[in-house]
Structure 1
């Protein structure tokens, strides 16, 4: 990592040899016009990661740079960035919300980021070790035939680096959010849920409680923003946290995650849908109803029974997440996260052979050419999500489609296993068992 990091810092300081000037345009746009103090953490990290990724920064270095820059930003007096109208506009609020002007405060954050990069370029620090667990990630997302892209996702193998956590437990975080009625809610969840999760005192010993609290807190935060800015949207979401040998899945709505172990599907969750018997009963107990209008809908409106946002239908559309915990034993192949645009067209039981077929094609095409063998091996698996998305589209999905595939061991091992044991063929031929229930 050090060689790659030094090379990037060299390029970066050539492009940004000094702080941004006061009247120069920002090299990356802010998500919001105004941001609360609580939202500043997530929005700054999102902006910094996006800014560095656009310049080819190594993911681990990006997380460390952003964490260092944010720590310095939060030591500053931020009162000069308060919105002038903020005090008067919030006088009637029970608890006054301090809003900052995003463009101005994010200029300061980017300058802190540039300062850290310049300092590290001149005196390269001792970086924390990279995670020891093998994690290679394949991601692909398409708008498909929809008018707008309302999916958002986050793949964060450097969770601890981004938040400066040093408790000895390795962590990686992945999430898919499927927005409806606009992309605002999905964008918000992708920006803030992992931040809220990182701040939970129960994270180390009770990740399920930490996740549930983080989902609820994110929903509450978005409610305040939606009220301020008159936003109307919602999002389902599924997020996974790999914490040492423990896999925690938390979800709202019908986005899903599955685990594949030795070529077989392990069911991790039951998606929330309005016609699920316990969801239907919960909604009716609250005085709501489930009606069929092309699909089952809550009070004739939303086709999801749990979501962040959708405040006009709370509490019928619940903001309470569910969780499951699965122990990892080292024989797992991968985790797949996707929105309903994928799972409406692809059954979980189809995933193992689709992945192996995609890996075989990927290995054939990506291993050719003049690239060194090591580079060719590293590329195997990177296009698998793209082929899975393409399959879902060909199978009839017209919705936005997002797929994240997190390999828990090298894809080359899965190919070798398939060639020696016939796992893919066995999976294709198996009709008696859809999945192994964990």
Structure 2
């Protein structure tokens, strides 16, 4: 657990690679009993043959990990000691007043090492998933979306397409799991893949990501909500409807129009599992990325984020490690009762961002400051 991130990721990849060379049939897990076998159909019985016992598999994995560590004590492969870009990430998540914490997040700066990618393009992956109706779908997406993306043959040539396909596969996989285990949960999600100098975004639902560049918010995406004209038209064309019941909802139930499947097949295809994607070239002038769930963005507009971050950096002398905690507190103080998750990825040194902000204040025309001064004097 205390190993450097690159080394830990390389160890995990080497151990999994050895495990996958074994015959895994001994870990297959049959249906729990005759009742389960009678309940599933023939196609679902085929799915059970692919289910492995997690406990036995984990024990076998740790045996492989021990073997790899023993080998690497003599000679650590060069790939496990290759320097990589250092990322400063601040993340904070709270249950808030909800009964359960249904959010999940992923911070994976050592993406290449974890999946054994040896090309010269450095990659980092970050994601936030906002579950509803239970945490199962959010946990599943946080485990599988990046793994499905890494396995796509087109990851190197079409990263946006790989992310889109990863969401589709994860939705399909969770639908099978939900049927098998009678789950009734779903999740929205947003993920960011930085590959070299390009940022790729993929999302389902109303979790969002914003980019801040030279102190200005750059809008990257439009959340999937039923009141969006194109989403309403898509739902109605499929035979569904959008109605207002304290907020706009699909078929009077769900407040988002796209999500990893609920486990309720009657929500498909109105609630789509097809992600949208976008990309943007990074020039080096970008300040940071912020990924968050609706528990944050419903109470803190994107245009107010920069002021909150700058104030935090000024108060903490350019240290950004706890800025996500400050942003979560701001959303809660403004009335958010939902789960709140905020993940900030700094693309520049926070100390530089603080100095830029102070420089702008010093360079501001004095006449722009006079009204504020006179108001203070009057008060």
TM-score by length of 2: 0.90
For residue 135 of structure 1, report the CA deviation from its aligned partner: 2.1
Aligned partner (choices 355, 363, 376) of residue 416 of structure 1: 355
> Which among 262, 265, 269 is matched to residue 221 of structure 2?
269
Shift of 1:85: 4.4
Measured against aligned partners, the alpha-carbon deviations of 1:139-174 in whole angstroms (never above 9, x if no partner) come to 000000111000000000000000000111110000
Q: Structure 1 residues 298, 77: closer, same or farther in 2, change over 3 A?
A: same
Residue 124 of structure 1, CA deviation: 3.5
What CA deviation, in whole Å up to 9, does each residue of 1:335-386 have, x standing for no partner?
000000000000000011111111122227xxxxxxxxxxxxxxx2110000
After superposition, residues 299-378 of structure 1 pair within 5 angstroms as: 299-310=251-262, 311-363=265-317
Bigger mean CA deviation after superposition, 306-315 or 65-74? 306-315
What is the CA distance between 1:238 and its match in structure 2? 0.2
Question: How do residues 19-418 of structure 1 correspond to structure 2 at under 5 angstroms?
Answer: 52=1, 56-85=2-31, 89=37, 92-93=42-43, 96-97=46-47, 98-126=50-78, 127-132=80-85, 134-310=86-262, 311-363=265-317, 380-418=319-357
Structure 1 183/85 Cα, relative in aligned 2: closer, same or farther at 3 Å?
closer
Residue by residue over 1:233-262, the C-alpha shift from the partner in whole angstroms, topping out at 9 and shown as x without a partner, is 110000010011110110000000000000
Distance in 1 (CA, whole Å) between partners of 2:231 and 2:304 is: 27
2:374 is matched with which residue?
none
User: Residue 94 of structure 2 contacts residue 101 of structure 2 at CA under 8 Å; is this kept in 1?
Assistant: yes
The answer (yes or no) to whether the contact 1:240–1:247 under 8 Å persists in 2 is yes
> How far did 1:86 drift?
8.4
SS of equivalent residue, structure 1 residue 202: helix
- TM-fit CA distance, 1:282: 0.8
User: Does the 8 Å contact 1:353/1:424 carry over to 2?
Assistant: no
Distance 1:141 1:172 in 2: 20
Q: What secondary structure is seen at the aligned counterpart in 1 of 2:155?
A: coil
Whether the 8 Å contact between 1:179 and 1:185 is mirrored in structure 2 is yes
The change in CA–CA distance for 1:154 and 1:94 in structure 2 (over 3 A counts) is closer
2: CA distance, partners of 1:402 / 1:267:
19
Shift of 1:328: 0.3
Which SS does the other structure have where 1:99 is aligned?
Answer: coil
CA distance in 1, matches of 2:63, 2:107: 25
Greater Cα offset, 415-424 or 305-314: 415-424
Distance in 2 between the 1:354 and 1:420 partners? 17
User: Please, what TM-score do these two structures have when normalized by structure 1?
Assistant: 0.78
Unaligned ranges ≥5, structure 1: 1-51, 365-379, 430-438
Q: CA deviation at 1:119?
A: 2.5
Distance across 2 between alignment mates of 1:266 and 1:202? 28
Classify the secondary structure of the residue corresponding to 2:46.
coil
Per mean C-alpha deviation after superposition, the further-off stretch among 338-347 and 77-86 is: 77-86
SS, match of residue 291 in structure 1? strand
